[in-house]
Amino acid sequence: MRYHNVVLAGFMGSGKSTVGPLVADQLGFRFVDTDAVIVQEAGRSIPQIFEHEGEAGFREREARICQHVAWEPDTVIATGGGALMNRRTRHAFLAHSMVIWLKVSLAEVERRVGRAQDRPLFRDPVRVRQLFQRRLPVYAGFPFHVETDSRAPQPIAEEIVRLWYSS
């Protein structure tokens, strides 16, 4: 199958926003971070969107933006950790995109993210574990997996570029 773009999926802290620009640069593609697009469009930070619109409002914005960028060719797309939990978004990306799960352990997520105040869903450790466990089967269903634990961004990006050229 010839893919139109690359979608980086995975739990918060897996490295999507860090690795994405490196992959885009190496492929000569454009980079889109869907969370950044949401923030720009809303004129508010993600915590502010959660505060004013709730998680449902955020997810509605996220689904609309993701389903739009799914059609953009030659683009590396970093999605929010929960973006592909939406069935329509998931199907839109899987129809046109090389969807890659940036696989990360919960221990590594905690090390990378800590108790970041800019990540509303990360404030409650019990909820984080539940989200992680609930999302794992969806992530595992994606066609490509790249391990990120204890790895620097550049080798991860290089592995993704190799996947792109070999598929």
DSSP code per residue over 27-73: HT-EEEEHHHHHHHHHTS-HHHHHHHHHHHHHHHHHHHHHHHHTT-S
Given a cut of 60, is residue 151 above it in pLDDT?
yes
Given a cut of 60, is residue 117 above it in pLDDT?
no
Average pLDDT over residues 71-92: 95
Query: Kindly report the CA angle at 29 between 8 and 44, in degrees rounded to 5?
Result: 60
Query: Which range of residues forms the domain containing residue 42?
Result: 5-166
pTM of the model: 0.92
- Looking at the structure of the chain, the number of domains it has is 1
Rounded to 5, what percent of the chain is helix, strand, coil? Answer: 60, 15, 25
Given a cut of 60, is residue 111 above it in pLDDT?
yes
- The pLDDT assigned to 32 comes to 98
109: domain CATH number is 3.40.50.300
